[in-house]
Structure 1
Amino acid sequence: MQADRGHSTNLVGVPTGLIASTAFNANPVSLHIASVCDSNRSLFRMLAEADTPAIAAGMFESYMATMFDLDDQDRDGRGPARFKASSYLRLLRGWGYEANSPEGAVLKGWVESRFGLFPTFHKAPIQKFWDKTWITYVEEKMSSRFHSNAIQSQLDLLFEFSQWALARFHAPGKTHIRLYRGTNNFEEQQLLARPDKRHVIVRLNSLLSFTSDRDTASSFGDTILEVEVPVVKILFFNELLPKHALKGEGEYVVIGGDYEAKALYY
């Protein structure tokens, strides 16, 4: 499993091994999921008229509601049971409670199918194919209750909107954003090298959370990883939408791989 970073093909046109590398993180290139923007030109034409992030977010939510038949209860992630599995916001809500939840498996599965990256952790380290941990991940990512209503297409649009909003409003002209992640061990993030006391190279899970606030990160562990995250690897962030389940921690949901990080200790 360690030798296999991911699939040989993906939907973004950049080799998976490169996406997963520290070289990519140092010199990122644009990542777009094949045909998503072309298939949703009306959304991006509409977004081009938005003067503020709030207006753009409202346009996106209205488009998603129309395209995927989401009602107001779907939008805050608290809809009745028959809707909960069908909304991208429901998945984000589950992720916010627990990244190793079934909802987290679906999100990691989306990263695997679009970017080619295998997860390295789901409830426990994934050491090889067909071990118990891998089978649990596969069973949860394929659960039928999370795959109604074109959920993969919903996540595709969420990623593309996030990238559009970062370039237009939240991080114009930036290639990286400095983010933090607290940890007490390197079980979920594998330590690959330690060039010196202050710097490490870590293999991060295919999808994981960071925060923009260093003090918030410190509440999750005595070691804080300070990372320059490529903007093109951000799936979701706190300011993207007005109502969602990840409010309060400056959270960013980031595509993983090998990262150079500064290790800060408390």
Structure 2
Amino acid sequence: MTTLPAPDLLSPAPDTPPIEDPDQWYSTSMVGIPPRILASSAFNRSLRRLTIHGTRETHPGLFHLLDRSTSQTEAAAAFAHYMAQHFGLGPPAPDDGPAESRRTVTSYLEVLRGWGADSNSAKAAVLKGWVESRFGIVPVFHKEPLGLFPSPAWGEYLHEKTDIRFHNNCIHQQIDLLYEYGQWSIRHFKKPGPRFVRLWRGTNDFEGQRVGERIAGRLAEVRLNNLVSFSGSQERAEEFGDWVLETEIPTVKLLFFPGLLDASVLNSEGEFLVIGGCYKVRAYHGYI
């Protein structure tokens, strides 16, 4: 029997045209709103709540614990305890055998720290892949612009977002719970804002975002990457680039914000992780 060669995923068949707009891959999401609407700047003013289908129903015990919390500190401790117990994230027991034989499991903290070290790392690709899976919003940048598909850039991203090193412990479900916990916290404690939060992003180039229409003066609409970092401080944002983007983010598009966790994750820089798409921004040179 003749074995056929595996298809080259980076080269389309001769009669298959390349995809110029990968956004067309998705027509549904796991939050009940079509991706094209979720990624639009109009959605950002809609005041719609978002929830990832099935997450709260699958983990009612977590939200019973959270409802007993009287402060953000108590809630963060309850969340950390639940995640450690449910996903086996605590330190190994003494009788688990020699350290070199213990199976390493992936945690949401590990991928968050990976993002903090390098937003183009394999762990960061896992987070971008989670946004794709749950919200249907595809990235526009990972190490380099992600344009025409297929391409080597897309191949590298697809390889890293599915890396088996980071998918051995239900990592997408862990991030689902992180998102739902964050949304519970925002509604419960009204921080960092009940509906919107004003944030800033410093950049030295626009490779990680695409500039759309110019509205007036310094106002523009940009297509941000599907997951992107912002700062809660204008002065802090200016340290990361000559250009600063200022915008209001709907809190339903926050995956992470300072104070959400009791662990030291991104907190030293006051970093917010924002689900991307199109945003209307005010763009200006820093230090003006």
* TM superposition score category, shorter chain reference: over 0.9
Task: Tell me, yes or no, if structure 1 residue 222 matches structure 2 residue 238.
Answer: no
Would you say how many aligned residue pairs link Structure 1 and Structure 2? 261
Q: How does 1:103-114 map to 2 (within 5 A)?
A: 103-114=123-134
- AA matched with 1:55: E
Q: Which residue of 1 aligns with 2:59?
A: 40
Q: How does 1:89-128 map to 2 (within 5 A)?
A: 89-128=109-148
Q: Please say if residues 130 and 172 of structure 2, whose CA atoms lie closer than 8 Å, have aligned partners that are also in contact.
A: yes
For 1:3 and 1:10, locate their aligned partners in 2 and report how far apart those are by CA, in whole Å. Answer: 18
What root-mean-square deviation, in Å, do the aligned CA atoms of Structure 1 and Structure 2 show? 1.9
Q: Which residue of 2 aligns with 1:69?
A: 88
For 1:80 and 1:92, locate their aligned partners in 2 and report how far apart those are by CA, in whole Å. Answer: 25
Q: Please say if residues 105 and 137 of structure 1, whose CA atoms lie closer than 8 Å, have aligned partners that are also in contact.
A: yes
Q: Secondary structure at the match of 1:235?
A: strand
1:197 CA displacement: 2.2
Q: Please say if residues 210 and 251 of structure 1, whose CA atoms lie closer than 8 Å, have aligned partners that are also in contact.
A: yes
Q: Cα–Cα, structure 1 residues 172 and 246, in superposed 2: closer, same or farther, change >3 Å?
A: closer
Find the partner of 2:76 among 53, 57, 82: 57
Find the partner of 1:190 among 210, 214, 218: 210
Task: Tell me, yes or no, if structure 1 residue 3 matches structure 2 residue 27.
Answer: no
For 2:65 and 2:100, locate their aligned partners in 1 and report how far apart those are by CA, in whole Å. Answer: 30
Q: Please say if residues 93 and 244 of structure 1, whose CA atoms lie closer than 8 Å, have aligned partners that are also in contact.
A: no
Identical pairs, percent = 44
- AA matched with 2:21: A
For 1:123 and 1:81, locate their aligned partners in 2 and report how far apart those are by CA, in whole Å. Answer: 34
Q: Cα–Cα, structure 1 residues 41 and 236, in superposed 2: closer, same or farther, change >3 Å?
A: same
Task: Tell me, yes or no, if structure 1 residue 178 matches structure 2 residue 198.
Answer: yes
Q: Please say if residues 191 and 200 of structure 1, whose CA atoms lie closer than 8 Å, have aligned partners that are also in contact.
A: yes
Find the partner of 2:44 among 3, 25, 41: 25
Rg larger in structure: 2
Q: Cα–Cα, structure 1 residues 84 and 212, in superposed 2: closer, same or farther, change >3 Å?
A: farther
1:82 CA displacement: 6.3
Q: Please say if residues 85 and 91 of structure 1, whose CA atoms lie closer than 8 Å, have aligned partners that are also in contact.
A: no
Runs ≥4 residues deviating over 3 A: 1-4, 79-85
1:2 CA displacement: 5.4
TM score, norm. by length of structure 1: 0.93
Q: Cα–Cα, structure 1 residues 229 and 90, in superposed 2: closer, same or farther, change >3 Å?
A: same
Structure 2 unmatched ranges of 5 or more? 1-18, 93-98
1:245 CA displacement: 2.8
For 1:240 and 1:198, locate their aligned partners in 2 and report how far apart those are by CA, in whole Å. Answer: 33
Structure 1 unmatched ranges of 5 or more? 74-78
Q: Which residue of 1 aligns with 2:149?
A: 129
Q: Please say if residues 234 and 254 of structure 1, whose CA atoms lie closer than 8 Å, have aligned partners that are also in contact.
A: yes
